[in-house]
Amino acid sequence: MKNIRLGKTDITVPQNAFGALPIQRVSEDEAVSLLRNAYDGGMRFFDTARAYSDSEEKVGKAFEGMREKVFISSKTQATTKAKFEEDLNTTLSNLKTDYVDIYQLHCAAKCYNEEDEIYNALVEAKKQGKVRHIGITAHKIGVAEDIVKSGLYETLQFPFSYLASERDIELVKSCKENDIGFIAMKGLSGGLLTNSRACMAFMSQFDALPIWGIQRQSELNEWLGFFGNEAEMTEEIKAEIEKDRNELLGEFCRGCGYCMPCTVDITINQCARMSQMIRRAPSQNWLTDYWQQEMLKIDSCVECGLCKTRCPYELDIPELLKKNLKDYKEILAGKPV
């Protein structure tokens, strides 16, 4: 397994890390078991956030008494000093520690700099030793490029998978040139990509640390399997990647959920990508009475536009919902999946 050094932080870990967003959906015992099994299997980097409900608490319980053996990153969506300090103190309490290895400004709308109190609060926390390294996450490529150019952050977290554009790939290369650690989120594009070996083989070509979102032991087993059976780029995998790129490139929902909640209770982050999901997973899972009722809620969309203002990818969500509903109704009427 290739090791990755996260830029000037000098944090060096296997290129196979744990994204702890999904563990908020399982019990504490299940989450702690997953996290410890991940450590036992070779993972050393664990990413969580204040926004992930009780994820931090579960990470804290899992690694209590062995803090120095793992690297933990967390995030805050604060935009003021007061809220930042509140979030950081809560994070440290949840993680049962007096420091966090990387603390990141979460889903940044711009590159915060010395003129912004939130950036200065982050720098001050590092001086105090509560934060060892400062980072930031972004979803918009222009914002991410500004972050790299600024030289103000030690790490950047950004969506990166084998659906990446040339501009995305140049961003990763630019991070390496500027000695900024690149943390790759959404390596499965929100669940649209299902070939873990292809995802890992693609990632191994870059100086990027993927944080795989893991909720089940079966998922963890797939990723841990690459410690003893390294994923290499082959002609077969290249063909699989090219096939997926041809099918999926363009405007598609990554399922991040930042658009939620919907004013008329549409499950946007699933319904807006139903056409892809129903073709890339057992279709019967998406044709149940439950999902039929959820999809039909799209007819009640009032096109308020709130979801569009929240979407980090600037998608025309109401239009995507309409297209997905049309396709779904045709499938229910007998169109082949």
- Which residues are identified as catalytic? 52
Phi, psi of 210 (to 5 degrees): -80, 135
271 vs 188: CA distance, rounded Å: 18
Using omega within 30 degrees of 0 as the cis cutoff, is the peptide bond preceding 312 cis?
A: no
306 vs 1: CA distance, rounded Å: 43
76 vs 121: CA distance, rounded Å: 12
Nearest CA to 314 out of 246, 256, 245, 247 is that of 256
Tokens 């959920």 sit at which residue?
A: 257
180 vs 5: CA distance, rounded Å: 10
| Non-local CB neighbours of 214 within 8 Å, separated by 6+ positions | 18, 19, 20, 22, 23, 34, 38, 220, 223
* Cβ contact 170:197 at 8 Å: no
121 vs 222: CA distance, rounded Å: 39
3-state secondary structure of 1: coil
* Cβ contact 78:49 at 8 Å: no
End-to-end CA distance of the chain: 38
Sign of the dihedral through C-alpha 17, 19, 25, 27 = positive
299 vs 42: CA distance, rounded Å: 48
Per DSSP bridges, beta strands 209-213 and 3-5 are unpaired
